[in-house]
């Protein structure tokens, strides 16, 4: 089959590789000139790794990523450094972390030469017919994958766009340039309306992320100075991590998710994938993982499908993935409300609840993020 993938993010590239591995003729359109130019770190749970295994990429990603989290104490802390709860070892045993740019470049290198077309803005047909317009020229494909991000123009073109909703907070991210002593502990620190998270990366680098409740569109000027002002008095090693980060490596984005989860991810021969299909808040750390699940699911469903079975495969994808991602979208939105609690009463009750409820229950609650089932069709 001839397949178009619109968007060269993690999900789109994994799908493109899976399709090519199965013998399909694949082209990837990416509107950015350099899609790997920015990004920080990401964490992959067991579900994402299982999906990567299904398309033949698990070994590569394990080789490039770090499993250091599995050997550390992980959980939630108070800004003073006091632990609110610790996750059981099994809850972090499968976690791996990697710099997003490293993963992106590795995935691009797995594609056949000439597959990726950058600086190419592609729009699908409104009826999902398989027509894709690039530079005023229409091309015909058997299947089209729209993986063009949370602000997807193709989601809107298909009439499936519920709009985006501001989550109420902005997020900074960065990666350290020098080694910082962690004292064997990672995870998140929850303050009032703000969070700071620490994740180890390969080569003794650290990925960090932080959030702050603020009106949408707030300008901070010097982002590095702003994040240091916001978190500079929190427990070690947070100030040291910020000191070890170059101002040029600090990025910030206001956080938006879909206004509501989609009940259908396909129209005709066109399907949505990744953030285009299920943009959610980052509170579960499942953005990349769910996109990878999407890619593996559609790859396996199309594997061996004859011409008269493609429509059924796409319908199965829509059904399977919409159910799975809608559930995680709701969990992530709920977690955002809990984590970003800013009032003295709500924040205090949250912290008390985390101390009272054993950490092992948090591990049970996240169990769905550690496993992925291959589609039955």
Query: CATH number for the domain including 103?
Result: 3.50.50.60
Cβ contact 255:211 at 8 Å: yes
Give the structural domain span for 73: 2-369
Q: Which three-class secondary structure state does DSSP give residue 65?
A: coil
Assigned domain for 374 exists: no
| pLDDT given for residue 330 in this prediction | 96
Which residues are within 8 A (CB) of 309 and not within 5 positions of it... i.e. 6 or more apart? none
Q: Which three-class secondary structure state does DSSP give residue 163?
A: coil
Assigned domain for 75 exists: yes
Assigned domain for 37 exists: yes
Cα atoms found within 13 Å of the Cα of residue 308, Cβ hemisphere only: 0
| pLDDT given for residue 353 in this prediction | 81
Taking the C-alpha atoms of residue 255 and residue 216, their distance in angstroms, rounded to an integer, is 9
Which residues are within 8 A (CB) of 190 and not within 5 positions of it... i.e. 6 or more apart? 76, 77, 78, 84, 339, 350, 351
The model's confidence at residue 38, banded by pLDDT at 50, 70 and 90, is confident
Q: pLDDT tens digits, residue range 104-158?
A: 999 999 999 999 999 999 999 999 999 999 999 999 999 999 999 999 999 999 9
Higher pLDDT, 90 or 233: 233
Assigned domain for 375 exists: no
Give the tokens for residue 92: 């972090």
Range in 182-186, 260-264, 272-276, 369-373 the model is least confident about: 369-373
Taking the C-alpha atoms of residue 48 and residue 38, their distance in angstroms, rounded to an integer, is 22
Cβ contact 297:375 at 8 Å: yes
Residue 359 has pLDDT above 60, yes or no: no
Taking the C-alpha atoms of residue 332 and residue 230, their distance in angstroms, rounded to an integer, is 24
Assigned domain for 197 exists: yes
Taking the C-alpha atoms of residue 370 and residue 46, their distance in angstroms, rounded to an integer, is 4
The count of domains in the chain is: 1
| pLDDT given for residue 364 in this prediction | 47
Which residues are within 8 A (CB) of 107 and not within 5 positions of it... i.e. 6 or more apart? 10, 13, 14, 17, 57
Please give the torsion angle defined by the CA atoms of residues 98, 101, 108 and 369, in that order, rounded to the nearest 10 degrees: 40
Under DSSP, the state recorded for 233 is T
The model's confidence at residue 358, banded by pLDDT at 50, 70 and 90, is low
Is the bond preceding residue 117 a cis peptide, omega within 30 degrees? no
Q: pLDDT tens digits, residue range 93-119?
A: 999 999 999 999 999 999 999 999 999
Taking the C-alpha atoms of residue 49 and residue 296, their distance in angstroms, rounded to an integer, is 11
Give the tokens for residue 196: 């700071």
Assigned domain for 140 exists: yes
Range in 143-147, 231-235, 373-377 the model is least confident about: 373-377
Q: pLDDT tens digits, residue range 10-34?
A: 999 999 999 999 999 999 999 999 9
Assigned domain for 377 exists: no
Residue 279 has pLDDT above 70, yes or no: yes
| pLDDT given for residue 305 in this prediction | 84
365: part of which helix (H) or strand (E)?
helix 359-365
| pLDDT given for residue 377 in this prediction | 55
Taking the C-alpha atoms of residue 60 and residue 13, their distance in angstroms, rounded to an integer, is 14
Residue 39 has pLDDT above 90, yes or no: no
Q: pLDDT tens digits, residue range 43-100?
A: 999 999 999 999 999 999 999 999 999 999 999 999 999 999 898 888 889 999 999 9
Both ends of the chain: CA-CA distance in Å?
18
Taking the C-alpha atoms of residue 299 and residue 303, their distance in angstroms, rounded to an integer, is 6
Taking the C-alpha atoms of residue 293 and residue 19, their distance in angstroms, rounded to an integer, is 14
Taking the C-alpha atoms of residue 217 and residue 247, their distance in angstroms, rounded to an integer, is 20
Cβ contact 262:272 at 8 Å: yes
Assigned domain for 50 exists: yes
Taking the C-alpha atoms of residue 109 and residue 48, their distance in angstroms, rounded to an integer, is 20
Q: pLDDT tens digits, residue range 205-215?
A: 999 999 999 99
Taking the C-alpha atoms of residue 271 and residue 229, their distance in angstroms, rounded to an integer, is 43
- With 0-12 CB in 10 A as exposed, 13-18 as middle and 19+ as buried, what is 190? buried
**What Cα–Cα distance (Å) separates residue 211 from each residue in 75, 112, 195?**
17, 39, 5
């Amino acid at each position: 089959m001839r397949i178009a993938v619109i968007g060269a993010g993690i999900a789109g590239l994994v799908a493109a590789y899976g399709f090519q591995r199965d013998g399909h003729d694949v082209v990837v359109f990416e509107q950015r000139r350099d899609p790997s130019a920015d990004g920080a770190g990401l964490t992959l749970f067991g579900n994402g790794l299982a999906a990567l295994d299904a398309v033949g990429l698990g070994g590569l990603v394990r080789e490039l990523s770090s499993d250091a989290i599995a050997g550390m104490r992980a959980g939630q802390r108070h800004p003073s450094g006091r632990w609110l709860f610790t996750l059981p070892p099994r809850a972090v045993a499968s976690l791996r972390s990697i710099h997003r740019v490293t993963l992106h470049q590795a995935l691009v290198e797995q594609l056949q030469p000439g597959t990726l077309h950058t600086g190419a803005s592609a729009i699908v047909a409104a009826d999902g017919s398989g027509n894709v317009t690039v530079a005023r020229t229409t091309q015909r494909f058997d299947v089209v994958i729209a993986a063009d991000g949370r602000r997807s123009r193709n989601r809107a073109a298909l009439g499936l766009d519920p709009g985006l909703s501001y989550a109420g907070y902005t997020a900074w991210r960065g990666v350290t340039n020098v080694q910082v002593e962690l004292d064997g502990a990672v995870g998140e620190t929850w303050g009032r309306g703000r969070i700071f998270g620490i994740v180890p990366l390969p080569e003794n680098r650290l990925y960090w992320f932080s959030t702050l409740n603020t009106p949408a569109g707030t300008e901070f000027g010097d982002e590095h100075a702003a994040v240091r002002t916001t978190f500079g008095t929190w427990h070690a090693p947070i100030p040291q991590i910020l000191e070890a980060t170059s101002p040029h490596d600090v990025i910030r984005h206001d956080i938006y998710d879909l206004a509501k989860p989609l009940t259908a991810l396909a129209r005709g021969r066109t399907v949505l994938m990744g953030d285009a299909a299920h943009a959610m808040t980052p509170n579960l750390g499942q953005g990349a993982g769910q996109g990878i699940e999407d890619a593996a699911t559609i790859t396996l469903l199309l594997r061996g499908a004859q011409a008269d079975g493609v429509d059924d495969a796409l319908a199965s994808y829509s059904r399977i993935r919409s159910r799975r991602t809608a559930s995680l979208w709701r969990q992530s939105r709920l977690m955002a409300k809990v984590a970003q609690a800013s009032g003295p009463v709500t924040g205090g009750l949250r912290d008390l609840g985390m101390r009272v409820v054993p950490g092992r229950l948090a591990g049970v609650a996240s169990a769905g993020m550690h496993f992925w089932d291959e589609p039955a069709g």
